[in-house]
Amino acid sequence: MKPIISIQNLSKIYEGGFTALDDVNLEVGEGEIIALLGPNGAGKTTLISTICGIINASSGQVRVNGFDIVKDFRQTRSIIGLVPQELTTDAFESVWDTVSFSRGLFGKSKSPKLIEKILKDLSLWDKKDSKLMTLSGGMKRRVMIAKALSHEPRVLFLDEPSAGVDVELRKDMWRVVEELRQTGVTIILTTHYIEEAEAIADRIAVINRGKIVLVEDKAELMQKLGKKTLTVQISKELKSIPKALSKYNLELSDDKMSLTYAYDASGKRTGITSLLSDLSTAKILVRDIETKQSSLEDIFVGLVSEGAGS
Ligand SMILES: Nc1ncnc2c1ncn2[C@@H]1O[C@H](COP(=O)(O)OP(=O)(O)OP(=O)(O)O)[C@@H](O)[C@H]1O
Ligand SMILES: [Mg+2]
């Protein structure tokens, strides 16, 4: 995949000496959707703001579509759409005017059809003549997304697009993201909702204390780090695990009424069939069975807490 964003040895030290980005290296392929996860203060907004040319890096280089973000600012900014974390909207303008004006700022010719489509996609059509000051927070966020899309960016940054929005907007947004993916738009998204990353990202990057601690294909990540467990409820209390079952490394619950078996779901043999047959041979009656897969959230919490200790 051709990289559309290429970040090399990027560091940001804020005035006062705080290192918010520490030697970040990352390539984002054209048409990819990457979710940037990290705890509060990890450096997500700093990274996005640097790529968009809003703040200056202390060292390192970023290229967007082959252009340097500092030397060729106009070229890079013109293909970037940004939905910032903080809402900033001009209160007295109407929704229609503010979104249309935003397109004009990028030197694009008027396209009422496109603006109409964007407003409809984001369920803003019936608010098109409303002044921004009269909108709720979630509506304002929709307007921010509409503004970012107005100039048909090839790269879209969504910094916490789901913060403070209802389920409806989140779904609208996911749908819009899916549509943009199909037209080849590259999307970088930060979120605190792990299920959002799980739902829409192709790749996951985790940033902690200004360092990228992981970048991995979502499916591979879940397979590699994701463990699966099978819990068997038994119908009679079991004092101890019979020797015949020792090879399964089962765990007996405190109430002695269930056994848990951890297995590799990606392996050819999970061992479940033979476990169930051996349970039956040992005359252990099974009442119920439940399997559980560790979620991206478990993986994320594990990674970030590891990093915090070092
Ligand atoms: N203008 C600034 N001057 C000094 N320090 C700053 C400035 N902006 C951000 N920081 C610090 O840099 C670190 C990274 O901030 P940043 O906003 O990038 O984090 P974030 O990952 O986006 O967090 P959140 O999840 O809360 O949005 C934080 O410790 C923050 O306090
Ligand atoms: Mg932020």
pLDDT 10s digits, 155-171: 999 999 887 778 888 88
pLDDT of residue 225: 64
Kindly state if the Cβ of 218 falls inside 6 Å of ligand 1: no
Mean pLDDT for 275-281 is 94
Choose which residue among 11, 12, 14 to substitute to test ligand 1 binding: the one with the highest number of ligand atoms within 8 A of its C-beta.
Answer: 14
- Give dist(CA 45, CA 47) in Å, integer: 5
**Among the listed residues 92, 84, 94, 89, the one whose alpha carbon sits nearest the alpha carbon of residue 115:** 94
Instruction: Report pLDDT digits (tens) over 204-238.
Output: 999 999 999 999 998 887 776 667 889 999 999 99
Q: Which CATH number fits domain 227-293: 1.10.12, 3.30.70, 1.20.58, 1.20.1280?
A: 3.30.70
Number of the ligand 1 atom closest to the C-alpha atom of 39: 25
Please identify which residue in the block is written with the tokens 């990093």: 307
Residue 88 or residue 77, greater confidence: 77
Going by CA atoms, what residue is nearest to atom 19 of ligand 1?
Answer: 41
CATH 3.40.50.300, domain 3-223, yes or no: yes
| Helix (H) or strand (E) segment spanning residue 62 | strand 59-64
Distance 136 CA to ligand 1 centre (A): 26
Phi, psi (deg, nearest 5) at residue 296: -55, -30
Domain coordinates in residue numbering, the chain: 3-223, 227-293
**Among the listed residues 44, 17, 7, 12, the one whose alpha carbon sits nearest the alpha carbon of residue 208:** 44
pLDDT at 194 over 80: no
Going by CA atoms, what residue is nearest to atom 3 of ligand 1?
Answer: 14
Going by CA atoms, what residue is nearest to atom 2 of ligand 1?
Answer: 14
